[in-house]
Amino acid sequence: QKVHVLPQTVLYIADAETFSGHEECHEQKKARKRNSKETAIALEKLLPKRCQVLGLVTPGIVVTPMGSSSNHPQEIEEGEAGFALLFPKIDGVKIHTFHFSKDLKNRVFDESKFAEAGLKNNPDLRVVLLFGYNSWKSGATRFLHQIVNPLNEKSIILAGGQVESFTSLTSENNNAQPGDACGVVGLAFSGPQIQSATVLLDQDVADERTAEAAMQRLKAANIPERNTIGFMFACVGRGYRHYKTKRNMEADAFRKFFPNVPLFGFFGHGEIGCDRIVTGNFVLRECNDIKDDLLHGYTTVMTLIHLGSTK
């Protein structure tokens, strides 16, 4: 007897070439936008109507084929690639999407929107994956700071990066085209059984030895590896260019220390994250009053999210 598990939340990421094709002139640019929307609609038709969907377009992809531990994670910096993570209903875990777009009329962000999105006054909030889009637009960096800074709490893991664009956000009725403004989309993971940790590989991490040292720090967090997902958010300036033409360096280092954890992510235009190695009661081992710097360039953020034990 076949058992079908329906997804409740879906995160899919594809590189720009896969999702929209090339454009060489103004007229083709219009066609590209239509094609992107049509592709998103076609993908969503394959999913249940009540499913929350977040779709992102990025310059490059990090993927473990089929999410299987028998396959090595791959850093795909050129060529067509993409993946989809389908999250079913998980007892004790809530995963939801959110979207904050920049209000052109108001320079101050209304922080009451955090509570509406479940990002404030939520004692079970554990992990927030944040993705800024249209970062090249005027005011985009300032707006990203307005979102990230209030969420910069020691009890929450924050990770993510700047993407080219987002194509899907079906949890809300949003008539505005994603390309019309800049903003932040993301996934929030809530639940007392969730465990997470993250490390930042800065510009000084530039060879196999230092990359593996970062993975050792992540390993020391002692996050259970069963029912755990790894995320890698890297700068487009890293990869084989940063490691002197040696490809797949960071994904291989992750695989060495986490052979049974699938790794997913992307190469983007800026990274969100820091070193946050936490204990079982979700308190930092080293705690101080200085807030972490969460916005970076030419770095890689590696994150583990454990969704609890499976019965």
Local confidence pLDDT in tens for the 311 residues of the chain: 665 678 999 999 998 777 665 444 444 444 444 466 777 788 888 888 888 999 999 999 999 998 888 899 999 998 889 999 999 999 999 999 999 988 777 777 888 899 989 999 999 999 999 999 988 888 888 899 999 999 888 789 999 999 998 887 754 444 444 456 789 999 999 999 999 999 999 999 999 999 999 999 999 899 999 999 999 999 999 988 888 878 999 999 999 999 999 999 999 999 999 888 655 444 444 445 566 789 999 999 999 999 998 65
Beta-bridge mates of residue 264 = 231
Asked if residue 75 is part of any domain, the answer here is yes
Q: Is residue 7 part of a domain?
A: no
Query: What is the per-residue pLDDT for 227?
Result: 94
| Residue 4 resides in a domain | no
Question: Tokens 């990359």 belong to which residue?
Answer: 211
What was the pLDDT predicted at 103?
Answer: 78
**How many Å apart are CA 37 and CA 46, to the nearest integer?**
15
Q: Phi and psi at residue 251, in whole multiples of 5°?
A: -65, -40
Residues facing residue 183 across a β-bridge: 101, 133
CA distance 179 to 21: 17
User: 245 in a domain, yes or no?
Assistant: yes
Domain span at residue 76? Answer: 52-306
CB 271 within 8 A of CB 234: yes
**Torsion angle in degrees (nearest 10) through CA of 211, 216, 221, 226:** 90
CA angle 88, 92, 95 (to 5 degrees): 50
User: How far apart (Å, rounded) are the C-alpha atoms in residues 156 and 283?
Assistant: 9
How would you classify the pairing of strands 263-268 and 228-235? parallel
Distance (Å) of CA 197 to CA 25, 26, 206, 225: 44, 44, 22, 12
Q: What pTM was estimated for this model as a whole?
A: 0.88
The CA distance from 208 to 189, in Å, is 32
Instruction: Say if 24 falls within a structural domain.
Output: no
User: Of 233, 225, 226, whose CA–CA distance to 251 is shortest?
Assistant: 233
* Residue 114 within any structural domain of the chain: yes
Asked whether residue 11 is assigned to any structural domain, the reply reads: no
Helix (H) or strand (E) holding 32: helix 26-45
User: Is 29 exposed, middle or buried, given 0-12, 13-18 or 19+ CB atoms closer than 10 A?
Assistant: exposed
Task: Report the candidate in 162, 85, 165 with the shortest Cα–Cα distance to residue 131.
Answer: 162
- Number of structural domains (the chain) is 1
Is residue 47 included in any domain, yes or no?
no
